[in-house]
Structure 1
Amino acid sequence: MSTSCAQPRTSDTPDIERASGSTSVIDPFQFRDGLIPDEELDGLRRRKQHKPVAKYQGKQNELIISLLKPMEEHTEDARVEGEAYRLPVKIAVYASLAANLGLCILQMYAAISSLSLSLIATGIDSVFDVGSNVLLWWLHRKAERLDENRWPVGGARLETIGNIIYGAGPYLFSMGSVNLVVIVESIRTLASKDGDELSAFHLPSIIAVGAALAVKFILFLYCYSLRHQSSQVLVLWEDHRNDLFINGFGILMSAGGSKLRWWLDPTGAIIIALGVIVSWGMTIYEQFGLLAGKSAPHEFLQLVIFKAATFSDEIEKVDTVRAYHSGPNYFVEVDVVMDANTPLWKAHDLSQQLQDRIEVLPNVERAFVHVDHETSHVPEHRKNPRPAV
């Protein structure tokens, strides 16, 4: 994202966000005047036709408050939130690991004892969940202990790689190969079945998968509130969400094949296998986006633009701001414009101070601030394309 934002030149504009510890609000663009009182928002929400307006204005209020909040408060809020969620995140990881191990045994018993194709499809997924869980846990621990001399960028990217492996493991093995066998067998059963004889109903298998469904639902609810606090918990939450569909649909189709129509069981196995493949494919695609350098959210870009534009009177314009993922965190690039006669020492010190301030924002891995005296140059810091032969 690029922007050209002129810095307001008023005599009472603070030079920087002032000394450390200052909580004064910098609002040269009078954003605070755009805040809508809570009473007015509540009145809009009571009217059905005005609910979209209330939702929009509520988001605008949140954005304005975020822009006007000093950088130190953003950092402190993130630190406090991280401390508060550290133990719940650890519980979510270890509880999911232990639950997947126990439920794997339970679901494989249900699949083998009933010979239901739908339950076999759910059992296969549970087997690979355990191995993937262990791999994910190990990679996240490894990321925290990487030698910074050998890995200067830290372990954040390794976490994203772990998430990709966690998704790609079941995708390549369980869904890409073993489940393919289940799909082929289900198709063969549908094509070769003679008569309308129902398969035997095996109650213990239904109860076993039902118990797994209940445990997964509890873990799903627990991880739901923590999914934005840890990329590891986010992937675990997606796994529990997927398993709710798998187990619930598997029970329905297996029981339906025993009580209603015989073809419901093999049809359910095909749908489960294909559904899980598509779901995990989307998860892998999203994680690859983080590793490949997907842009940061628009709200974060707006925050960086505002903080850079109001950082100092010496900054005349903000030429370009880019923020993109490097794993779960962001790399930030900022191009600012100063007067051509600004002393080198002052340009260096101000850009360094701005870089330091940006790097303490939550989820920022690294920041780069470039200073120039005009905006006619191309802000791209890339190698020139090789000329065609």
Structure 2
Amino acid sequence: MNRNHLTRAGVALAIVLFGLKLWASLTTKSMAVLSDALNSLLDIFSYSVIYVSVKIQHSQADKDHHYGHRRAEPIAGFVIAILAGILGASIIKDSFLGIFEEHSVFHNKIATAIVIFAIFSKLVIASLYKILAKRTNSPALEASYVDSRNDIFASSVALIGMLVGGYWDHIAGLLIGIWIIYSGISLGYKNLKYLMGHVPSIEIINSIKDESLKMPGVIGINDLRAHYVGDVVHVELHIEVDENLSVKDAHDIGIAVRDKIETLPMIQKAFIHIDPISHIV
């Protein structure tokens, strides 16, 4: 299954689960299940945004975007994080106020089956998101995986709250709200690093150094800079070559280093500067 099919499946599943959970919450009068239904309503919007961002991100570079549209998915992930924070705060407020009110939950076997179905369906789609996110290194699919994993927790807590009832139902809703905010903050921070041009991991930096120094004609390297442009990395590197080389030979070495670096995972573009130095054998 490719990412477009999977994101469409995520939207469809969110719509189905929202309808089922809303019915279950109205039938049982469960605040926890209602909170979970609102979480699924957020999923409808979130996965729709992700579907659009995936299509934009992989569209070709154009005259207005010379390096493509690699920030589309991190933007989608950051928007989802903000909405998660808003939803979580709303759920926390309603659940906290409900703790101090007398409240009864009406047990219903169909409603229970709906929440269990939601848990298992999210287990399946979360596994698919995780596999495809690792394969494609997609921030949007990773955001979908994190969100689906959170949904599993939220639905499990909602199930417990609905079955136990009383003020525990509101406490379950409170826990769901806190978890949604926490996951939103974590997701937002990670995607913000993509958008703000954060330095990549030390493993990526070391791989750039190692591969550059292996290239014939490269005596040394200096002034290595790298940063994220969306979910990919741009590199600026100064390589040191023998000052007695011709301009063409030095240029060819720079091209070879550039081509090699651009084959590394996560690297979209490398800019190589030639620094001639005295080379005493």
Q: Is the 8 A contact 1:319 1:335 kept in 2?
A: yes
Distance in 1 of aligned mates of 2:18 and 2:173:
18
Alignment of 1:131-146 (within 5 A): 131-145=45-59
Shift of 1:88: 4.0
Distance 1:317 1:147 in 2: 33
Matched with 2:14 is 100
Q: Does 1:339 align with 2:242?
A: yes
TM-score (norm 1): 0.66
Work out which of the residue numbers 119, 129, 147 in structure 1 matches 2:33. 119
Q: Give yes or no for the alignment of 1:175 onto 2:175.
A: no
Q: Matched residues in 1 for 2:222 and 2:94: separation?
A: 61
Q: 1:241 aligns with which of 126, 139, 149?
A: 149
Q: Distance in 2 between matches of 1:92 and 1:136?
A: 10
Hey, what's the Cα distance between the residues in 1 that align with 2:113 and 2:198?
44
2:29–2:105 Cα contact (<8 Å) kept:
no
In 1, Cα distance between the equivalents of 2:55 and 2:188?
Answer: 21
Look up the SS of the partner of 2:9 in the other structure.
helix
- CA–CA separation in structure 2 for the residues paired with 1:147 and 1:340: 37
SS at match of 2:221: strand
Q: What is the match of residue 93 of structure 2?
A: 184
The structure where helix makes up a greater share of residues is: 2
Which structure is higher in RCO with an 8 Å CA cutoff and minimum separation 6? 1
Label 1:190 to 1:162 Cα distance change in 2 as closer, same or farther (>3 A). Answer: closer
SS of equivalent residue, structure 2 residue 224? strand
TM-score by length of 2: 0.89
1:209 aligned onto 2:209: no
Equivalent of 2:263, from 357, 360, 371? 360
Q: Which ranges in structure 2 are unaligned for 5 or more consecutive residues?
A: none
Number of residue pairs matched by the alignment = 276
2:64 is matched with which residue? 150
Identify the residue that residue 233 of structure 2 maps to in structure 1: 330
Partner secondary structure for residue 152 of structure 1: coil
Which letter does structure 2 place at the counterpart of 1:239?
D
Unpaired runs of 5+ in structure 1?
1-86, 376-389
Cα distance in 1 between the residues matched to 2:97 and 2:259: 64
Contact 1:296 1:330 in 2 (8 A): yes
Deviations 1:68-107 (A, max 9, x none): xxxxxxxxxxxxxxxxxxx443442222222111111111
Q: 1:350 & 1:222 partners in 2: Cα distance? A: 42
Pick from 192, 195, 200 the counterpart of residue 288 of structure 1. 192
1:260-299 alignment runs, 5 A limit: 262-299=166-203
Change (3 A) 1:192 1:109: closer
Q: How does 1:19-38 map to 2 (within 5 A)?
A: none
Aligned-partner Cα distance in 2 for 1:153–1:118:
45
Match of 2:3 in 1: 89
Cα separation, 1, equivalents of 2:149 and 2:277? 51
* Paired residues of 1:92 and 1:233 also in contact (CA < 8 A): no
